[in-house]
Structure 1
Amino acid sequence: MIRVIVLAALVSLACRWAFGKWPWDYLRPPRTQATELSRARSVLEVGVDADRRAILEAHRRVVARVHPDRGGTSEEVHRANEARDLLLSRLPEDGATQ
């Protein structure tokens, strides 16, 4: 039994080294654009019809809540930044003012 576990660990490490992914990463379905947008909206807690101002306000609110200085992690801040960037990139260009 120990040999099987050690062998599985070695195969997993070899896969990670050779292909850059863990073996179980191949079992997940690929992320689609729709799932990425849905995840970004849920991170920032905005609706489908959110405009630029609403996205930026939600981003400020989320970052203030998850900032490392307030007990959050930098990973959560990066996730909020990625969500903001993705949602802002999907907005129409006309009338885009900061």
Structure 2
Amino acid sequence: MMRLLVIAVVLALACRMLLGKWPWDYLQTRSDGRQRLGRARRLLGVGRKASRSEIREAHRRMAAILHPDRGGSTAKLAEVNAARDLLLARLPADNISHEPPESPQ
């Protein structure tokens, strides 16, 4: 019995060292909203604490790459637009007032 306990502890530590997470962390499911936020961040390539200007800049970069006029697809561009909208909607309200308004192009 003691041998099984030692093996379990060693496996848990190995999992933590190799994969960066404890084994029981893989048992938790993320909520749908958190999954969408994570996917939107990955799609735009921004971090959790990205500012409004960082999100906009990342969106411009991705939109330029994926625009249908440049060989991209409308579906992918729609995904990028939805990711931008989701991330901007989740920003705290006080983040809005600290940045100058965007100039029209």
Number of residue-to-residue matches in the alignment: 69
The answer for the alignment partner of 2:94 in structure 1 is: 94
The answer for the alignment partner of 1:46 in structure 2 is: 46
Q: Which runs of 5+ in 2 are unaligned?
A: 1-28
Task: Give me the whole-angstrom Cα distance separating, in 2, the residues matched to 1:59 and 1:83.
Answer: 8
Give the alignment's TM-score, normalised by structure 2: 0.62
Task: Give me the whole-angstrom Cα distance separating, in 1, the residues matched to 2:42 and 2:52.
Answer: 16
2:59 is paired with a residue whose SS is helix
Q: Which has the larger radius of gyration?
A: 2
1:83 aligns with 2:88: no
4+ residue runs of structure 1 moved beyond 6 angstroms? none
Task: Give me the whole-angstrom Cα distance separating, in 2, the residues matched to 1:84 and 1:74.
Answer: 15
Letter in 2 for 1:75: A
Q: In structure 2, do the counterparts of structure 1 residues 79 and 71 end up closer, same or farther at CA, with 3 Å as the change threshold? A: same
Write the mapping of 1:66-81 to structure 2, written as runs, cut at 5 A. 66-81=66-81
Task: Give me the whole-angstrom Cα distance separating, in 1, the residues matched to 2:68 and 2:94.
Answer: 35
Q: Which runs of 5+ in 1 are unaligned?
A: 1-28
Task: Give me the whole-angstrom Cα distance separating, in 1, the residues matched to 2:39 and 2:94.
Answer: 25
Q: CA deviation at 1:94?
A: 1.4
Letter in 2 for 1:43: L
Give the alignment's TM-score, normalised by structure 1: 0.66
**Deviation per residue, 1:45-67 (Å, 9 max, x gap):** 11111000000000000000000
**Percent identity at matched positions?**
48
